[in-house]
Chains A and B, each alone.
Chain A
């Protein structure tokens, strides 16, 4: 790709982006949300028409005007959300849209035969007539890749491929990628998990604000300077960490058990401490937060909060005890998208804003205005519909809501997911501020730099168990 540019309504999403991918090479692309990654993917996938620039595949100039043309040109995109049809067989999924037929009738035997050959070639021991929905997500993903190869893909674009994979499946995926490299495929690997980029990529490209700001072979980079290239700031500035003296133990958790999700979780959390929780998807991080918040029941174990035994019965109960949570998926679990900022911010404290059951609108408005000011929410006013705000501002609205309760314990689940760089720094400052004011914080994040930059201590979860406890001095970047 040379000099590719794309704007949306005079909003430049991609400006003069350059990209080189050799056959058999894995190119990692990293960048913040809003840096232009999705625009780049969609331009290659034919979902957008680019405004200017050229794209060449195998030396041939191509105009990708539609997904069909892009597939025909040899580009295959594997999105985060898998597009496997669960009710169909593996073979049918591999040949989706491309079924071998005799006239109007599917040639099932030929399809199964060809699928078997392909799967074999890729080292996948799968039976082509098995139902695709019965496979684990990791295998489903590989079937999707097999589909792409079946269409003679030359370029494979993978967008956050490990989001839904277990650790074991991630390892298998990497072996698979090596196989694909040997077959001559060029692979573009987009992820914000830096460890993966280092493990699997030959080259790295950094996107920032729609431009290619850095490229180079993987050997030339360290975690630190990659992140710095992404955010254009020295990391030490980016995470406004301020050391604090941790107070007494505020939260004590012993032997928490949730069948199938968590087992034997025990730890202490001090006042004013930021405790990071690391682990891959499925390791139980979100479940741990939900148990403490009363959103998920636990079968065994004890919780002591502020010196008294505590059994969180419901989110309402937790909030009454000054425990708040920022949920993982703000659109599904955190916000009333079609309601105003004001109605969202006041959601947890309606009773406090009311007298005799009647909500005092002036108090409600004042609360939301304070929240907007404190968290610098960019909007037209407290009556703005939350759906119309950017991701970062939506997240800030959630923060405004939870602080209305004056919490002592913050349970933060991926608090900067989908938030642009500028807003991230503001969120980090607020988190440190909460801790300085004496609250305790549990921080779950998939972004290792973020975890390392903010936490006083880090717990590591794996398969529902606590496998590590790291203190800050030992885990410098």
Chain B
């Protein structure tokens, strides 16, 4: 819908004001332009940047953010927010690790544990938000805290080591020579893009984000759709937990702290509006890539991780600023 919108924008044609037209053009491709500039800069500054091994690195390391961002994109399009992503990742890992290692469950059973934990928390979030009417921010903030607390309590603050290879397939395995996290990320993005662009459910998601009350009065079962959206987000966060835990073959109670902020940043850089109704998987893809490239590039240049955070914030700021300017022009 976003690309249709972009094609059919019926704003008044401005005169041959090249500055205005450039800004309007630029605002539609903020992410891609930013990404291009970053890639250019890093390839000049670091000889290792363009190596294929490095690119495989980038995608693999971004896969956790990417998988979670699939669900987050849907949430943000409905004008909601999910702050519990990081906690779900950690909790699902701890639960799976606990059951597989201490209760001797088979490795692959751990996969379903991760996803199930995610779905459960997602359902809880969804219930609070769509049926109890709590604000998404508050509800998911409390699940963030409760989830993290549970993770620490269940693990006693200790890392759980020794997950079997049968479990770690999704995190560290390879399929036809391609690392599994990469395959999984691509599949998740493709499916989610299809859902958003072509299904009734996808249309309903955009409608709710565009105007929740109007969607309700037009006959859309808003509560049900919102519930599904948060469950999906939770399930995908659980899946991200599966990949992370698999990669380390261990579950750390402190893992993924702050992940939600990276995920939200990726989605917003990708062009989604926190006010809802706008965004798509292609944008999110570029958003995730931007963050991944940024991290990787600064890493190769041996920049201190503290400064990496600052630069990341600055990139988000510029992306959002350009989008806001573009919005104003389009009106």
Interface residues of A (CB under 8 A from B): 293, 295, 314-316, 318-320, 325, 327, 332-340, 343, 346-348, 350-351, 354, 357-359, 379-381, 383-385, 387-388, 401
Contact = CB atoms under 8 A, between A and B. Distances in A.
A381 B219 contact: no
B277 interface: yes
24 contacts: A293-B217, A319-B218, A320-B219, A332-B211, A333-B217, A334-B214, A335-B211, A336-B207, A337-B210, A338-B210, A339-B210, A340-B1, A340-B5, A347-B220, A348-B220, A350-B200, A351-B200, A359-B198, A359-B203, A380-B8, A381-B8, A383-B8, A385-B10, A388-B11
B8 A340 contact: yes
Given A335-B214, A350-B220, 5 more contacts: A336-B214, A340-B8, A348-B218, A358-B200, A383-B5
A358 B199 contact: yes
Nearest to B223: A314
Top 3 A-B pairs, shortest CB-CB distance: A383-B8, A336-B210, A319-B219
A325 B217 CA distance: 8
A358 B196 CA distance: 10
Contact of A314 (B199, B202, B221): B221
Given A315-B218, A333-B213, A350 B204 contact: yes
Contact of A350 (B8, B203, B210, B278): B203
A325 to B, nearest CB: 7
Nearest to B197: A359
A382 B204 CA distance: 18
Nearest to A387: B331
A359 B217 contact: no
B4 A383 contact: yes
Contact of A343 (B1, B198, B220, B278): B1
B184 interface: no
Contacts of A339: 1, 5, 206-207, 210, 277
A383 B219 contact: no
Contacts of A325: 217
Contact of A354 (B4, B199, B217, B221): B199
B55 interface: no
Interface in B190-230: 198-204, 206-207, 210-211, 213-221
Contacts of B277: 336, 338-339
Contacts of A348: 218-220
B19 interface: no
A339 B203 CA distance: 11
Nearest to B221: A316
B203 A336 contact: no
A295 B214 CA distance: 11
Interface centre among B1, B10, B217, B220 (most CB of A within 10 A): B217
A348 B203 CA distance: 11
B9 interface: yes
B328 interface: no
Interface centre among A318, A327, A343 (most CB of B within 10 A): A343
A337 B213 CA distance: 12
B7 interface: yes
Given A315-B217, A347-B215, A358-B198, A388 B207 contact: no
Contacts of B206: 336, 339, 343
A340 B4 contact: yes
Contacts of A333: 211, 213-214, 217
Nearest to B216: A315
A439 B16 CA distance: 52
Interface string B235-270: 000000000000000000000000000000000000
B221 A359 contact: no
A147 to B, nearest CB: 33
Nearest to B276: A338
A295 B222 CA distance: 12
Interface in B1-22: 1, 4-5, 7-11
B225 to A, nearest CB: 11
Contacts of B331: 387
Contacts of A340: 1, 4-5, 8
A47 B221 CA distance: 43
Contacts of B211: 332-333, 335-337
A293 B8 CA distance: 33
Interface in B128-153: none
B207 to A, nearest CB: 6
B246 to A, nearest CB: 31
Contacts of A335: 211, 214
Contacts of A351: 200
A141 B58 CA distance: 62
A114 to B, nearest CB: 43
Contact of A347 (B7, B207, B221): B207
Contact of A385 (B8, B198, B213, B219): B8
Contact of B218 (A337, A359, A380, A401): A401
Contacts of B8: 340, 380-381, 383-385
Contacts of A336: 206-207, 210-211, 214-215, 277
A320 B221 CA distance: 12
Contacts of A380: 8, 10
Given A337-B211, A340-B5, A343-B1, A354 B200 contact: yes
Contacts of B7: 383
Interface centre among A293, A354, A381 (most CB of B within 10 A): A354
Given A343-B206, A384-B8, A338 B278 contact: yes
A295 B11 CA distance: 34
A185 to B, nearest CB: 39
A336 B210 CA distance: 5
A319 B221 CA distance: 12
A339 B273 CA distance: 14
B200 A359 contact: yes
A466 B8 CA distance: 48
Contacts of B5: 338-340, 383, 385
Nearest to B201: A357
B175 to A, nearest CB: 28
Interface centre among B214, B218, B220, B221 (most CB of A within 10 A): B218
Contact of A332 (B199, B213, B220): B213
A332 B213 CA distance: 7
A305 B221 CA distance: 22
Contacts of A357: 199-201
Contacts of A315: 216-219
Nearest to A335: B214
A22 to B, nearest CB: 42
